[in-house]
Amino acid sequence: MPGRRFSYRSGMETPADHLPGTHLLVDLYGAAHLTDAAALERILCDAAGAAGATIIATHFRVFPGAAGVTGMVLLAESHISIHTWPELGFAAVDIFMCGAADADAARMALEAAMAPTRAEVVAVARGQARDQRNQ
């Protein structure tokens, strides 16, 4: 809601569009591209775009012996990161968005591109008192 502000115990106030936001912990099983750093970088950047987020920087690293990829897309709104275990057919993804960026839109874009056979998602509302989450 525009103009809405939240007060914290510190006495500081934060506009609603600058709240810490949603953190999705996404486990992907049977996903594609688990050893392809270039593809994963493109997929995570596309997910950031789908969320309406602003990319600041990216960094991806392939581990030797096809042991997986770790990568990070740093956003003005926070980050999207991935770590893969190709030997298990598994990827762990963090999608943390604040402000108006849409973490779930990022998740849907990522899942569409990686085509997992199964996905498990835990959503955490960061930096919000329990009573504020229900407003």
Residue 90 pLDDT = 98
pLDDT for residue 1: 34
List 91's β-bridge partners, or say none: 28, 84
> Rounded distance, CA 45 to CA 101, Å?
13
pLDDT for the residue 32: 97
pLDDT of amino acid 27? 98
Provide DSSP, 18-30.
GS-EEEEEEEEES
Residues marked active site are found at 78, 83, 98
| pTM (two decimals) | 0.81
Res 15: pLDDT: 52
- In the chain (135 residues long), the average pLDDT of successive 10-residue segments reads 40 54 94 97 98 97 93 96 97 94 96 98 80 51
- The pLDDT score that the predictor gives to residue 66 is 82
Integer CA distances (angstroms), 108 to 4, 46, 51, 131, in order: 28, 11, 9, 28
Residue type, 89: G
3-class secondary structure, 101: coil
